Amino acid sequence: MPILQIKDVTKVYEGKVTHRALNQLSFDVEEGEFLAVMGPSGSGKTTLLNIISTIDEPTSGEIIVDGMNPHMLNATELAYFRRRQLGFVFQDFNLLHMLTVEENIVLPLTLDQQPLEVIEERLASIVEKLDLNSFLHKRPNEISGGQAQRTAIGRALIHNPSLILADEPTGNLDSNSSRDVLELLTKVNQDKQTTIVMVTHDPIAASYCDRVLFIKDGEFFNEIYKDDRRQMFFQRILNVLSLLGGGQVGDLSTIRLP
């Protein structure tokens, strides 16, 4: 069964000028899939993530996460749903600067008033898996961007969520840190079958995924699956992006992936 179903979702922003950001978009994400969502600027990618994460409501259509429609939950149920079912990874990390790396990671469990033994056990497993030990007691302003994003991934994972939503997770990172973060997301996806939906502009980042879904003007444009080597998948991603328009695909087509 799919872990995420997007069913005929339309989002219209009302204002001085009405804007249809998503138009009858439908797709499923299978449990354990690592999906990239790509599309030109303004095509509706953030709107889609905001609707999946219940930050925003669809104008029509529905989304189903792990068998239920979170938009039907009351405020308390929704708070639990967000905290327990979803993990978020953002471009700008969204860490709390007064807290240490360790305190940031366990924050969802602290807010949930979990017993100390549970917190310590989960923390130990995340620290080992994500190799966070060397900077656990530092604060966000004392660590690198790559370390900050690994911290954010730790925080997103600490609840064993059904779904990780990542919005441009490598957008603020240099190429080495980006590779680290993408390899880490791949490991998390493969080890625990954690489902990941990642919005990205970067075809190299997208080439780590199992499937890339392209949207244009809020509508489904195309999707491609990784069924061969990553270099080939990368070239196929570039081909679709050149059909979509708006990128500098030409500059990228000679890149050899590490």
Ligand X SMILES: Nc1ncnc2c1ncn2[C@@H]1O[C@H](COP(=O)(O)OP(=O)(O)OP(=O)(O)O)[C@@H](O)[C@H]1O
- Reading the block at residue 242, the tokens are 């050149």
Least distance in Å: CB of 222 to ligand X?
Answer: 15
- Number of neighbouring beta carbons within 10 Å of residue 72: 9
* Token pair 């449990």 in the structure block, residue: 31
Binding mask 149-168 for ligand X (x = CB under 6 A): --------------------
203 scored as a contact of ligand X (CB under 6 A): no
User: Alpha-carbon dihedral of residues 187, 189, 191, 192, nearest 10 degrees?
Assistant: 150
**47 belongs to the binding site for ligand X (CB under 6 A):** yes
Contact 169, 88 (CB under 8 A): no
List the end-to-end C-alpha distance of the chain, in Å, as a whole number.
Answer: 34
Contact mark string toward ligand X, 231..250, x via CB under 6 A: --------------------
- Choice between 44 and 154, CB closer to ligand X: 44
Q: Cβ of residue 100: shortest distance to ligand X, in angstroms?
A: 31
The nearer residue to ligand X, 55 or 116, going by C-beta atoms, is: 55
SS3 77: helix
Strand partners, 25: 9
Nearer Cβ to ligand X (32/42): 42
Instruction: Name which of residues 7 to 46 contact ligand X (CB under 6 A).
Output: 13, 15, 19, 21, 39, 41-46
Which amino acid does the sequence have at 195?
T
Of 211, 229, 246, 217, nearest in space to 29 by CA = 211
Shortest CB 218 distance to ligand X, Å? 7
The binding site for ligand X (CB under 6 A) comprises 13, 15, 19, 21, 39, 41-47
